[in-house]
Amino acid sequence: MYVDPATGKLTDKSLIGHLASGVPGSVAGMAAALERYGSMPLAKVMEPAIRLARDGFIVDSSLFRSLRGNRAVMQFAGNALFYPNGAPIAPGTRLVQSDLARTLEIIAAKGPAGFYEGPVAEALVAEMKRGGGIITMEDLKRYRPEWRAPIRSTYRGYTLLTMPPASSGGITMTETLNILENFAPLPRYGSAAYTHLLTEAFRRAFIDRNEKLGDPAFVKVPLDQLTSKTYAKELASGIDREHATKTPAFKVAAEPEHTTHYSTADAHGNVVATTTTLNGGYGSGVWIPKGGFFMNNEMDDFAAQPGSPNMFGLVQGDANAIVPGKRMLSAMSPTVVLDRDGKVLLVVGAAGGPRIITTTTQVILNVIEHHMSLADAMRAPRIHHQSLPDTLRYEAGAFSAAAADSLQRMGHAIQRTGGLANANAIIRANGGWIGVREPRSTGARSATDATAVAAPKCPTGSARQLPRGPRDVTAPTTRLRRALDRQGLRQRNIHAPTLRQAAVPVRRAGGNGATRSRANGGANDGGLGLLAKQLAGNRAHGRTGGDLLGLIARRLRTHRLEFADARRPDHVIRVVADRHRDRSEREFDAFLAVLAAHRLRHLEHHRGSSGHGHPIRAVRNGGDGGRNLVAHLVRVRANASTSSDAERRTRGDHSGGRGGRLRRGRRRRSRSRRFRGR
C-alpha cells in the first residue's frame, strides 16, 4: 500500500494524506478510563476543552512557526482556518475553533458514540472517501479500547508500573534499567563512563524493540524474556566499558511529532499517567470539515516496509507489519514509580517519538540513581540512542568537551541536537504533590517554579524527601534564596546560574562611559538587590505584560544576544515581565544586560570550553567574571553604538570600534568575594 510498485521504494503515503490514518482511539480510550475510575461525568470533564475551543485563544509565535514549518497541511481542508490568505495565522490573532467545539459538545452529550457514530463519524468517512482513504463507518463502529495489564518491574528496590505492548515504551525502558542495574554504582552523571553505559543499554534495548515487538493480539511477544533480570545480565556482560558497539548506519531526516503526556494526582492519592498522540506534526495533515480536527498518521508507526526506517529512523521487522485490526507499535511510556514502601513516588511520561523512551528513563534515573530533585531531573540535559541510526544525540550540557572526546575515542558518533523530548512529571514530597512541566517546552513553566504548584496534601502519608541534585543543575544559591525571602518571595525559585555573580554597571555622574559595580543590595545594585526590587516592587510601571515582552525582545536584539531556547524568553525574564515595577527604561535595560550576560555564563558552564572568538572566552580571559561583559553591553547601549560595533563586540571581536577591548583583571581569590563591591 505504501511501496511504489515501479521502484520498490517506500513512499510518503504513510506520513501524509488519507492513507496515513488509523482509526482514532483516544476518544474511546479516555471515556472508558473515566467510566471505570473517574469521579466526574464526561460532560463536566469536557467543559474546559469546549470553552477553550469555542472562545479561542491568542496565537503565539511558537504556533506560528510550527504552522510555517508544516506547509504540507495547506493542501487539505484545514488551510482556511490555519492559513488565512495562504499564510500561517499571525501571532496575536484569536484562533476560534467552532467546529471542534461542536464536536466536543456532541461527545460530551452522547459519549464515545457521538464520535464513532452519527454526524461526526459521517463527516470523517466522507473525507476519507473523497481523498482515497480506507476508513469506513464499520471500522469506526467496531473500535473498542483494549484493557491490558501494565508491565511491573523493579529497579534498585523501586517498583515501576508502565505501559505494555502494543507500546514498546514499557518493555524497552524496563530492559534498559535491568541492564544498568548490573552496574552498581553507576558512574557520575554527565561523565563519559556514564554516557557510554547508558548509550550501550539503550542500543541493546532498542535492537530488541525493533526486532521482536508488535501487537500481542497478532504476534508472539517474548515479554518474559525481554523483562527478565537474567536476560539483562547477559546483555550487560557484552558491554565493553572502553569501546562502543557498532551497528549499521544510515541517515534519516528528523521529523516533528504531535504527542502529549500529562501526569495527574488527586487528593485521595490516585494517580494517572496519560500519553496520547497524532504521531507526526499535525498528523496526516487531513482535516475533517465540520469536525474541526486533524487525522493521525499512525500508519507510519507500523513497519510499512519491514527493514526500512520510519519517520523517526526506527527500523522494524515483520512483528510490526500492517494487518487489518492490528495496533501499531508506539513509544508511549506513561509510568508510575512506587517507593520501597510501595507508595506512589513518581508519575512520569513524555512526548517525542522514540525519544519518549530515553527521556522517561533518564528522568527516573536522575531521581532514583542521581538523587536529583524532580526539577533538576527534568532540567538535566539528556542523550538519545535508538540503535539505528547509530548516532549518540545529546543536548547541550549533557557532558563536557573532554567527555565528548572520550566518547568519540570509544567509537561513538555524537551529534548535538536541540531539546530531545518534552517530559511531564509529578512527585510526592512533604505529604503533597509537586508537579514539574518540561522546561524545554514552549510556554511551559520553568522546572525551577515547581515549589509553587504543590497540590492538596495526600492522606496516604508523606513520601521520603529527595536530596537536592548536583550544584551545576540545581535551584537558587543560599544567598539568592535569602535575598528573595527578605522580599517575601520564598515560594518562587529562580534559576541560580542565570543570576550568579550579578552586578550592574552604574554610570558615574557626568560620566564618560566609565562604570562601577555595586552588589551590596543598594538602590543601584543590579544583582540580588535589584532583582528583588524588580520582582517585589509595588508601584505600577504603566506597561502591560505584552509591552514588556516586546521591550525585552528589542533590548536583546540590540545586544545581539540569544538565549538557549530562542522560541521563548528566559523564565527569569518572564517573571520580570509579569511583575516589573517602577524602573526607568535605562535601568531596565541594564538589568536585562545583567541577565543576558549571566545567561551566557550559564550556557558556557554546561557547554564546556568555548571556542576562539566566543564572548565567554573573552570574559573568562578577562578574569572579571560577568562584570566586564555587562559593562561593555551597557556602554554599547549608552553610547548608541552602531549595529556592526555591537555585533562585533558581542561576538568577542574586540580588535576595534568604540569601547575598546575587555580589560584584563585579577581573578577573584575566593567564592566569598563574588558578591562584594570592588
Helix residue spans in 213-265 (DSSP H): 223-226, 229-237
Which residues are bridge partners to 518 per DSSP?
Answer: 504
Strand, coil or helix: 288? strand
Q: At residue 391, what is the residue type?
A: T
**Longest distance between any two alpha carbons in the chain, whole Å:** 83
Q: How many CB atoms lie within 10 A of CB 599?
A: 23
Strand, coil or helix: 135? coil
Omega before residue 463 within 30° of 0, cis: no
Tell me if 56 sits within 8 A of 96, measured CB to CB.
Answer: yes
Helix residue spans in 389-450 (DSSP H): 401-410
Polymer length of the chain: 678
Helix residue spans in 111-252 (DSSP H): 113-116, 118-130, 137-142, 169-180, 192-212, 223-226, 229-237
Which residues are bridge partners to 309 per DSSP?
Answer: 315
Q: How many CB atoms lie within 10 A of CB 117?
A: 14
Strand, coil or helix: 568? coil
Tell me if 376 sits within 8 A of 469, measured CB to CB.
Answer: yes
Enter the DSSP assignment of 271.
E
Q: What are phi and psi of 494, to 5 degrees?
A: -120, 140
Distance CA 285, CA 290 (A): 15
> Is 259 annotated in the active site?
yes
Distance CA 159, CA 169 (A): 16
Q: Which of 259, 277, 335, 650 is catalytic?
A: 259
Q: How many CB atoms lie within 10 A of CB 511?
A: 12
Q: What are phi and psi of 371, to 5 degrees?
A: 55, 40
Q: List the end-to-end C-alpha distance of the chain, in Å, as a whole number.
A: 73
Helix residue spans in 395-527 (DSSP H): 401-410, 478-486, 496-499
Enter the DSSP assignment of 320.
G
Closest C-alpha to 348, from 422, 415, 292: 422
Tell me the DSSP string of 365-396. HHHHTS---HHHHHHS--EE--SSS--EEEET
Q: Which residues are catalytic?
A: 259
